[in-house]
Structure 1
Amino acid sequence: MMLVQFLLCLSILTSAQAATISATQCDNATASAAPNIVFDGRVRANATVTDFDGTSGPFNPDFVKGENVSFSQLIKFPEGEIALFDSSVGAKAIEVTISDQSIFNPGGSNAQTAVRRAELMPRGDLVADNVTTTGIKTLHFSIKPSADRPLNVSHEYLMVFLERADFAGNLFMLRTGTLIGSDGSTKNDLVLFGNTQNGTQTLFTTPFEKAAFNNFALRLDFTQNTIQVFQSTGGAPLVQQTEPLPNDLSGNGDYHVGLNKNPTDPGADSLRSGFQESGINEGMVYGSIFIEDNANSTVTLS
């Protein structure tokens, strides 16, 4: 153990502990130190929907959403919803919604006409220098179906994912609904998939609880290229569900939290071919969104 780490350890212990602590014990104590939060997306209790249209909130006001639609038209505050890690910081849950107008048109001339999208991304100035995609970072979030705007689970939905900086693929994706190319057997599950450039393997599956928040922490080791899943429901502390699983996490990029609704019967170009019904009014409730640095600490479980 390096001297500076040992001295840091002693600084967080009582005088009685420090008098007898060994280097091995100090390693364990340091690993239990409080992690540093590198991005906090928990929405303060007094936030308004217009905060999502500017830079007073933690999310990018410009991406990802339909043309001529503002986030203040897409964000709602569901009553009585308190997620696992929100109450301790005075935060509240948010609902991200999609409609027929949720057609993303990157560059203004490349509309994704077969997809409906509304996704929150961290503001770039808050996550500069790839701070959330290097080292060992853990993405926390809680997710719950909207009581007023249910999904049409005959479609596939991406709800949380990390997109490569070059837009060439996703490093992981949390999906639900009838997954494209599947028999629909997991349409009421939450399914975590790995890197889309490496065969998109299934990493973890759990039933999608409808009456309570589904809480996740994804420990992402960008050096060792692994994902470890912690999960719980309601107000229960997170529980380790997997060991670190191999998954290519190279490419940096941006986290997306929201709804990306894929078409049914997509063709070769699934962004622009396939079926989407009209009259879409769907939503997903989120809370407890933050990213912590776990290089020298354990994952926060409660």
Structure 2
Amino acid sequence: MLKYRTLSSCLALALLLVSMTQSIDSVNGHETKGSEKKGFENGGRNSTNGGKKSTGGDILNFKLTPDMKTKDFDKPDSALAKQIKFVVKGQNLDNSKFLAIENSNGVTEMKIRITDKSIFVPGGNVAKTQNGFRRTDVIPAVDTSKAFSGITTFRHSIRLDPKHKLDLRHNYLLASIETPDGNHVYDVVYGTEFKSENDICLADKLTSKQLRIRDFGTNILHAVNMEEDKTYHIAVTVDWTKNTLAVSLAIGNEKAKVVSKEKANDSKLKIEDYSRLDPCPDKNDPVEARGDVPHKGVQEKDIEESIFFSKIGITSGSKKNSKSKKHGH
């Protein structure tokens, strides 16, 4: 089992937007899981659907505009807050302690932070405190009846924060669609994969810098080394009838390219999206107990890490061949 730190935006119910854990239906009483999706463009328009253009409409158009302010996360009536169903965060703290709006080079981004206080207490039940994770999830308001039927494309635009770097010794769940039992229809991860048998917390020299997009069986569909100050635009198309996945990727202003053609996927619906920071294994715990990622493991002190999300969206519709388009930032 993996252990993660989570920085995420999530989609409600079976989805997670920058990061999620469990079904959003159980946020108030159970171990939440989330899913989140991001888009190539604010509003998810001109999407590439794994190299094929969607002729359907937007299911999620998570707008980030220059006039939005960080304090809007704490104002339920603000245009920003109305797009969010739930924020998984540290107990009894304002959303703005973990979320921020920043404008850079003409692009408005949502900054998601992880600190020592990023410890989620499901339903306020102290006995279920997730001391193993450090997580911040943004769960957008979305019509899940449309998001998980037919053919839908989930979009995530992700950028590393060069000022508050992620710890490559840990595994990070940045986005996923998650089933109620904790499996992922697909996920986007970064850092070093958690292994219970490890007694020393070290960054994997080969894979820790890779952004990895994986299927239900955690098979890697595509991997690419992430560079600072470059935005990675990911589009994952799910055919819910045929249970297939297809992936497109654009880096910065590049044209989107199909990096994984349509492949069979053993998905089981009902998902969430999220970003999560997993602990390192605690050598003082028995190996067989280390897989309890939410509650076991070692986390450092004085954590200050963050990541940026920009274009977030979900589109639906039939697939038609279409040329990929360029994307900014």
TM-score (norm 1): 0.77
* Candidates 257, 270, 289, aligned match of 1:252: 270
1:288 matches 2:302 = no
Offset from partner CA, 1:142-175 (integer Å, 9 cap, x none): 11101221111111100111122x2532221111
Residue-pair matches, total: 255
Q: Do 1:144 and 1:284's aligned partners in 2 also have CA atoms closer than 8 Å?
A: yes
Deviation at 1:212, TM superposition (A): 1.1
* Candidates 92, 96, 103, aligned match of 2:119: 103
1:115 matches 2:129 = no
Match of 2:219 in 1: 201
Counterpart of 1:75, as a letter, is L
Match of 1:68 in 2: 92
* Further displaced range: 232-241 or 273-282: 232-241
The answer for unaligned runs of 5 or more in structure 1 is 1-30, 84-91
Deviation at 1:35, TM superposition (A): 3.6
Q: Do 1:156 and 1:180's aligned partners in 2 also have CA atoms closer than 8 Å?
A: yes
- Greater strand share, structure number: 2
* Further displaced range: 36-45 or 52-61: 52-61
Deviation at 1:250, TM superposition (A): 2.2
* Further displaced range: 52-61 or 133-142: 52-61
* Further displaced range: 151-160 or 241-250: 241-250
1:159 matches 2:183 = no
Counterpart of 2:163, as a letter, is D
Aligned-partner SS, 1:77: strand
Larger Rg: 1
* Candidates 173, 187, 194, aligned match of 1:173: 187
* Further displaced range: 36-45 or 277-286: 36-45
1:111 and 1:193 map into 2 onto residues whose CA distance is 28
The answer for unaligned runs of 5 or more in structure 2 is 1-51, 283-289
Q: Do 1:203 and 1:245's aligned partners in 2 also have CA atoms closer than 8 Å?
A: no
Q: Do 1:98 and 1:283's aligned partners in 2 also have CA atoms closer than 8 Å?
A: yes
The verdict on how the C-alpha distance between 1:193 and 1:148 changes in structure 2, with shifts beyond 3 A counting, is same
Counterpart of 1:210, as a letter, is E
Deviation at 1:32, TM superposition (A): 5.9
* Further displaced range: 70-79 or 155-164: 70-79
1:105 and 1:113 map into 2 onto residues whose CA distance is 9
1:249 and 1:42 map into 2 onto residues whose CA distance is 29
- Greater helix share, structure number: 1
Identity, % of aligned positions:
22
2:230 and 2:236 map into 1 onto residues whose CA distance is 19
Offset from partner CA, 1:88-142 (integer Å, 9 cap, x none): xxxx11111110111111122211101000011111xx325x2111111111121
Match of 2:165 in 1: 150
TM-score (norm 2): 0.71
Aligned-partner SS, 2:102: coil
1:33 and 1:205 map into 2 onto residues whose CA distance is 24
Q: Do 2:73 and 2:95's aligned partners in 1 also have CA atoms closer than 8 Å?
A: yes
The verdict on how the C-alpha distance between 1:277 and 1:229 changes in structure 2, with shifts beyond 3 A counting, is same
Offset from partner CA, 1:207-258 (integer Å, 9 cap, x none): 11223111111111111111111001111221111111221232222333xx
Aligned-partner SS, 1:72: helix
2:231 and 2:113 map into 1 onto residues whose CA distance is 17
